[in-house]
Structure 1
Amino acid sequence: MSAGMDETEKQVRLVIEYDGTRYAGWQVQPNGTAIQQVVEEGLFALLGHPVRLVSSGRTDAGVHALGMVACFKTSRELPERAFRDGLNRYLPEDIVIRQASVVPLTFHPRFDSRGKWYRYTLHLSPVRAAINRHTCWTIKKPLDLQAMKQGASFLVGRHDFASFRASNCGAKTTTREIFSIDIVPDEPLLHIDVKGGGFLKFMVRIIVGTLVEIGLGARPHEDIPQLLIQGSRERAGKTAPPRGLCLMEVWYGNLPHRLVSLKNTGPKV
């Protein structure tokens, strides 16, 4: 064992739920309070020493999560349940630890991830939402759901998603794989479930914005293959507001059976 290594050090994996409305995103940054910062401060209060959380990814300002995964290392001896319940005592009402478990030191929440499930929620009504105002995007005109499903089908599979990323996205490659896109009515809400191996900055929100334009009749669903070929952000739809987006789950190990059967089944572009 290398010098300075604590033989009792362990790694704890957290599954975190949060309402991102009043935060500047997940990652610690100088221009606002981040969820990572708040959880790390809670861990310092619980453990008595500073820690750095390593997460499965980032969410932007105003985006929510039911299943953000993050890990930290500590030498404190506590039962797994105490990491969850003890930390929750130091967190505000809009952040909560759903699960805490000890995992091998070799586990990495980002690099070991097999896929993620994002859900975007629309509120279909001529009147704006009140109760759900922080968790959905209100669309006041009817949507053609069949056209949206047809457009979404072209996005399933492995493609170059350069048209569906933020202009300041720093990813080295724009090729990603989407396992499935499901459009799920839940009146007056409509959920768009996007499941894939990885995502570019704003990718899900731009996909949603483009699908909404298709649903409103502002563009045909046949535009999608051309957008994938052209790789031009300017030609894709608007970026949907962050408040409707939620990270539902991060997968490790084997993917859910249904997703395995759907991989690479989208129409060829």
Structure 2
Amino acid sequence: MRIALGLEYDGRAFCGWQSQPNGLSVQNALESAVARMAGMPVRIHAAGRTDAGVHASRQIVHFDTEVKRPITAWVRGVNSFLPAGVAVLWADVVDPQFHARFSALARHYRYLLLNHPVRPALLAGRVGWHHAPLSLASMRAAATCLIGEHDFSSFRAAECQAASPIKHLLRFEIQQQGDLFSIDVSASGFLHHMVRNLMGALVHIGKGAAEPGWMNELLVACDRTVAPPTFMPDGLYFAGVSYPPSFGIASEPSFRHYLV
């Protein structure tokens, strides 16, 4: 039997999604909790990995088990064994052909960026921050060239293990409410640090250090060394995954972030 779970987590307490020898990853915490509920070891597969300090409002995972439990046990029961920074939102029995990672058609991220002269305290670790004024118009103009299929080598981490740097960017939308920018990005897949590297270039342009057209120059260069540094992980949220409708898993991204 294959079970899918929807999760949210605060990345500040973890060293990232992927299992680590120190046991301080989200995967370690979740596998431990599910194993306690199942009464045996369980391997969890996720839709996408997140780095240390990166959050999730809608991570999708699956695991296989022959243990029969009420579906609520995989939510409330598992949550009773999880640390405060991670929670199962829902559980469902899915088609055995479903795979959280390989069945995905697109993945969605949101970056929350506070543009204010003073660093945040109450929102520390939950939003990115830049002190100098940013131009929404310039950032939006810079983002337009990214839509479509491109070689994103200029925004790829050196340690990226993806087979190809070519990805299809489906969406790059930027909104502003007061001091808070929200950047929503959807793609067929993402390279390691791709969103944070794009954010570094976006902020560089937004503060007036380069013209919007420079983003296209970076894209064409296919050279990580010519692009700005990787931006901070604090404001990055894994916001969801789109799957074929036949699997019956809601594909709308979740951008809940509780910033009130």
- Same fold flag (TM > 0.5): yes
- Which one of 91, 100, 103 corresponds to residue 109 of structure 1? 100
User: Match for residue 49 of structure 1?
Assistant: 40
Could you list the runs of 4 or more consecutive aligned residues of structure 1 that deviate by over 4 angstroms after TM superposition?
A: 254-259
User: Match for residue 267 of structure 1?
Assistant: none
Matches within 5 A, 1:72-91: 72-91=63-82
Aligned mates of 1:222, 1:104 — CA distance in 2? 46
Give the structure-1-normalised TM-score. Answer: 0.89
* Matched residues, number: 250
Are residue 123 (structure 1) and residue 114 (structure 2) matched? yes
Are residue 204 (structure 1) and residue 195 (structure 2) matched? yes
User: Match for residue 207 of structure 2?
Assistant: 216
Are residue 175 (structure 1) and residue 166 (structure 2) matched? yes
Deviation at 1:104, TM superposition (A): 1.4
Describe the SS at the equivalent of 2:83. coil
CA shift in 2, pair 1:107/1:243, >3 Å: same
Deviation at 1:258, TM superposition (A): 11
Deviation at 1:257, TM superposition (A): 11
Cα deviation 1:66-124 (Å, max 9, x = unaligned)? 11111111111112122111101111111000110000111111111011110011111
User: Match for residue 193 of structure 1?
Assistant: 184
User: Match for residue 95 of structure 1?
Assistant: 86
Aligned mates of 1:11, 1:258 — CA distance in 2? 22
* Structure 1 unaligned blocks of 5 or more: 1-9, 260-269
Greater mean deviation of Cα atoms: 146-155 or 81-90: 81-90
Q: Percent identity?
A: 38
User: Match for residue 30 of structure 1?
Assistant: 21
**Mapped contact 1:57–1:110 kept (Cα < 8 A):** yes
Supply the RMSD in Å over aligned alpha carbons. 1.8
User: Match for residue 258 of structure 2?
Assistant: none
User: Match for residue 58 of structure 1?
Assistant: 49
User: Match for residue 244 of structure 2?
Assistant: 253
* Counterpart code for 1:243: D
**Mapped contact 1:23–1:32 kept (Cα < 8 A):** no
CA shift in 2, pair 1:175/1:192, >3 Å: same
* Counterpart code for 2:201: T
User: Match for residue 58 of structure 2?
Assistant: 67
Deviation at 1:31, TM superposition (A): 4.8
Aligned mates of 1:12, 1:258 — CA distance in 2? 20
**Mapped contact 2:115–2:133 kept (Cα < 8 A):** yes
Aligned mates of 2:23, 2:178 — CA distance in 1? 35
* Structure 2 unaligned blocks of 5 or more: 254-260
Cα deviation 1:126-178 (Å, max 9, x = unaligned)? 11111111111111111011111010000011100000110111211100011
* Counterpart code for 1:155: L
Deviation at 1:30, TM superposition (A): 2.3
Aligned mates of 2:9, 2:251 — CA distance in 1? 28
Cα deviation 1:186-208 (Å, max 9, x = unaligned)? 22211111111100000000001
Describe the SS at the equivalent of 1:179. strand
- Which one of 219, 223, 227 corresponds to residue 228 of structure 1? 219
